[in-house]
Amino acid sequence: RKEVEQDPGPFNVPEGATVAFNCTYSNSASQSFFWYRQDCRKEPKLLMSVYSSGNEDGRFTAQLNRASQYISLLIRDSKLSDSATYLCVVNGRGNDMRFGAGTRLTVKP
Amino acid sequence: EAGVTQFPSHSVIEKGQTVTLRCDPISGHDNLYWYRRVMGKEIKFLLHFVKESKQDESGMPNNRFLAERTGGTYSTLKVQPAELEDSGVYFCASSYQAGTTEAFFGQGTRLTVV
């Protein structure tokens, strides 16, 4: 089983749509969770950290379910500029980060 | 403030040759990580330095890969001899604290072994 699993997509949605990404992780001892965004041929950049209580940043909402070892990212009112690959990241056993394969999102006019 | 810088940005080498990748982390970041993404696959962890010490090198694929971080500043990743399957994008990242704070990535080195 992979340490971090994501639906690879692709997700093709119209502007203004709401889209949700899911991620599961295998290490129950993980403490830190993140969503990174990666544009084509660019480096990953932090989108948001994911806290136990859930957190929101503008149009983006992240949720964590420790019991199910599940993380989600919700994007509301999608913009063309949201098109990217979204990476679920979980801190590993050595307190470093392990990545999911990423979910590709394309927002169309 | 300068971000994480990697050199070179691209490298094309022949099978059997040696390549050395360099990473300069953000000043003050003790934690330095190397990752690799091969075509169509997820970004995979290679190793983690805390200052000059290897905290975790469980992701290093084999003994053809050697990473160093002398003096706890910049790091190098040497591949010797390179094989075709080593092709991919090698990312370096640094963070102030391990695991709990944001890691900043360099733009990567795209390695092609022909």
Neighbour tally for A61: CB within 10 Å: 18
CA dihedral in degrees (B9, B14, B15, B20; nearest 10)? -40
Q: Which residues of A touch B33 (CB under 8 A)?
A: 96-97
Residue B98 has pLDDT above 80, yes or no: no
Residue A30 has pLDDT above 70, yes or no: yes
Phi, psi (deg, nearest 5) at residue A67: -60, -40
* Contact between A35 and A86 (Cβ < 8 Å): yes
User: Closest partner residue to B42 among A31, A43, A102, by Cβ?
Assistant: A102
User: Closest partner residue to A96 among B33, B43, B106, by Cβ?
Assistant: B33
Neighbour tally for B49: CB within 10 Å: 23
Q: pLDDT, tens digit, for every residue of A67-88?
A: 999 999 999 999 999 999 999 9
**Residue B85: CA atoms inside 13 Å, Cβ hemisphere, count?**
5
Q: Per-residue confidence at B1, pLDDT binned at 50, 70, 90?
A: low
What does the pLDDT read at residue A38? 94
Among B6, B10, B33, B42, the residue to mutate for chain A (most A Cβ within 10 A) = B42
Q: Do A87 and B106 touch (CB under 8 A)?
A: no
- Alpha carbon of A26: minimum distance to chain B alpha carbons (Å): 15
A91 — contact with chain B (CB < 8 Å)?
yes
CA A79 from chain centre, in angstroms, equals 17
- Alpha carbon of A2: minimum distance to chain B alpha carbons (Å): 10
**DSSP class of residue A26?**
S
